[in-house]
A and B are shown apart, each in its own frame.
Chain A
Amino acid sequence: MNELSLRIRVIERLGRIIAIALVIFGVSFLLAPLVMTVYVAFLPSLLTLVPKTGYTIHWFVTLVNEQGFAQAAFVSVSIATLATGISLLVGLLATYAVTRFEFVGKGLLLTLSLSPLAIPAVVSGTALLFLFNLLRFYDSYMMLLLGHVIITLPYAVRSLLVGFLSIDRSIDDAAANMGANRLQVLTKLHVHLLKPGILASVIFGISMSIDDIGVSVFLVQPGTTTFSVLFLTLTRGSSTETLLSALGTMLLAFGILASILSDRIVGFDKIVRSLRF
């Protein structure tokens, strides 16, 4: 009996140690490479991990002067902002209609607007490229914008749908009884109650747009490139790891910002709850 309880104690200990080890391993598995990327960005070269000559911001300077950097920055940021804005507006109208009215094909509308999530991004990119070629439409910026509206719309629809569903319908009726018309209810009341959903859709939209590679890689043209595609192009060229790390560090800052903002504004727990595919 004594020996048995001792064995259980040992197993218990062991289990806890393994769990703790896995958690530490997991967190470092996620973050250590990212931290290293930031560290490497400040090295004179990757050959010496501890530089004798000190750390440098040389690669950031080189990067900013790199051909295509300013252009990619403009395209990425403006497309992300515009696409997210358009998706938000389109998504607001659609989810309002879906949650407040009865009409035929509601389910189909929702399924299709969420479908870009289920279909591999590379396939969506191929399809859009073929369609634009067929229509002889070659404006790369507009192609990217439309592509990014398509890939950000699902996030808007999903977060806003959850938002609208959580609004008590009796509030609508109460407002209507007080003499508000539908437009007033939407602009004065819903926008207020929908704030978390709207912010979630903005954060997700902007990060998914800047993050996108599968769709963008088919639609870019020389002179109209996004950050992600520029990064990919540079990895395949003769650029050094240190220069790439500098760009990686800048993009990493976006990710950390999105993460902190989402915690501050929406709350991590709400994101966890709203996360579905």
Chain B
Amino acid sequence: MRTKIVIASLIAPSIAIITIYVASFLPVIRTSLTDPTSGSFSLSSYSQFFTPAYINTSFMATLRISIFSTVFALVIGYPMAYFAVQHRSPHVRKAILFAAITTFFVNSVVKSFSWYIMLEKYGVINIVMQMIGLPPQGLLFTEAGVIIGETQFLLPFIVLLLMRPVQNVDIVLVEAAKNLGANDVHIFWKIILPLTMRGIVNATLLSILLGLGVFVAPLVLGGGFVITMALLIYNEIINAFEYSLGSAIAVFFTAFTLLVAFFVNRMISHKYSASE
């Protein structure tokens, strides 16, 4: 009995917070099922959202940005993680880690803004390009610009997530292969890549999941031309006061994200995450 009281008082504060959080979704679900004009039950907000106009733009843009940014972050992040673990110079290892962790900790609005001053019409890149006589780029306010910003957001996660799998590669195997006459190319393709494949898949899935919530990069670098799902919800509720439509989109998007998260959790080997 006494133990029960102890347990109850220990978990009471967290249950209170969780209850508020979970309860806060009820008004969203209710609003999404309410007709904004008549106030009666209706699915009209959902049918309004499930039209090519919304699905083909926001939903597809969100998927594209998340997937492309993840692919870029993976291509850049894999050698970074590899060097951060295996490079013989501790300074190189530390420098890569510092770049990844500092970027991870820097405010995401600042990160996106820093790419804004690089990409804008009279920004840093164009000034430099003009100096060396190249035509200016116009990546700001395009999806490509948003992908650049999102890649900067996801890259630290990818580097940090790939470090453990790279670290776990048995150095004895690499040495053995070297002694048997294998060259670096062989060692990479036949030993290191296969052994880190599981980690690559895990990092990719987690990064795509994380990228789905992309909000700041399109807000700062999209200039209203690139609308992701998270930005769409924000616009409908804060700018357009379309509470019912915004809620319907939020409900759909949450369900979709949780479904992806569930799928990702199933895919990620639990053997891997248990062996820490």
**A residues at B contact (CB < 8 Å):** 8-9, 11-12, 15-16, 19-20, 22-23, 25-27, 29-34, 36-37, 40, 46-47, 49, 89-91, 93-94, 96-98, 101, 103, 109, 112-113, 115-116, 118-124, 126-131, 133-134, 146, 149-150, 153, 157, 182, 207, 210-211, 213-214, 217-218, 227-228, 231-232, 235, 241, 244-245, 248, 251-252, 254-256, 258-259, 262-263, 268, 271-273, 275-277
Contact = CB atoms under 8 A, between A and B. Distances in A.
29 contacts: A12-B185, A23-B96, A30-B155, A46-B123, A49-B127, A94-B10, A94-B11, A101-B10, A109-B11, A118-B257, A120-B212, A123-B253, A123-B254, A124-B21, A130-B27, A146-B17, A150-B17, A213-B109, A214-B230, A217-B234, A231-B113, A232-B109, A254-B107, A255-B106, A259-B102, A259-B105, A262-B101, A268-B94, A268-B101
B108 A36 contact: no
Interface in B86-107: 94-107
Given A46-B123, A49-B124, A120-B215, A127 B25 contact: yes
B24 interface: yes
Contacts of B156: 30
Given A12-B183, A94-B10, A214 B215 contact: yes
Interface centre among B18, B22, B231 (most CB of A within 10 A): B18
Contacts of B213: 120-122, 214
B191 interface: no
A127 B109 contact: no
B27 A23 contact: no
Main secondary structure of the interface of B (DSSP, over half): helix
Interface stretch (B37-45, B48-56, B74-82, B171-179): B74-82
B188 A15 contact: yes
Contacts of B216: 213
A101 B230 CA distance: 39
Contact size range, B = 35 or more
A241 B117 contact: yes
B234 A122 contact: yes
Interface string B109-121: 1110111111010
B227 interface: no
A246 to B, nearest CB: 11
A27 B122 contact: no
Contacts of A255: 102-103, 105-107, 110
Contacts of B273: 276
Contact of A30 (B18, B20, B99): B99
Given A33-B117, A47-B122, A131 B20 contact: yes
Contacts of A33: 111, 114-115, 117-118, 152
Interface in B151-178: 151-152, 155-157, 159-161, 163-164
B83 A23 contact: yes
B60 interface: no
Given A23-B96, A146-B20, A251 B110 contact: yes
Contacts, number: 276
Contact of B107 (A8, A36, A228): A228
A90 B28 contact: no
Contact of B14 (A29, A153, A217): A153
A131 B27 contact: yes
Interface centre among A120, A211, A218 (most CB of B within 10 A): A120
A272 B184 contact: no
Interface centre among A33, A37, A217, A256 (most CB of B within 10 A): A33
A227 B234 contact: no
Contacts of A218: 234, 237-238
Contacts of A112: 18, 21-22
A186 to B, nearest CB: 10
B261 to A, nearest CB: 5
Contact of A96 (B3, B10, B230, B250): B10
A119 B258 contact: yes
A203 B209 CA distance: 24
B257 A120 contact: yes
Given A22-B76, A241-B117, A259-B102, A27 B22 contact: no
Contacts of A90: 13-14, 17
Interface centre among B97, B101, B105 (most CB of A within 10 A): B105
A30 B24 contact: no
Contacts of A157: 14
Interface centre among B11, B103, B155, B246 (most CB of A within 10 A): B11
Given A33-B152, A252-B110, A130 B103 contact: no
Contacts of A121: 213, 215, 230
B204 interface: no
Given A31-B103, A276-B273, A150 B20 contact: yes
Contacts of B17: 90, 113, 146, 149-150, 153
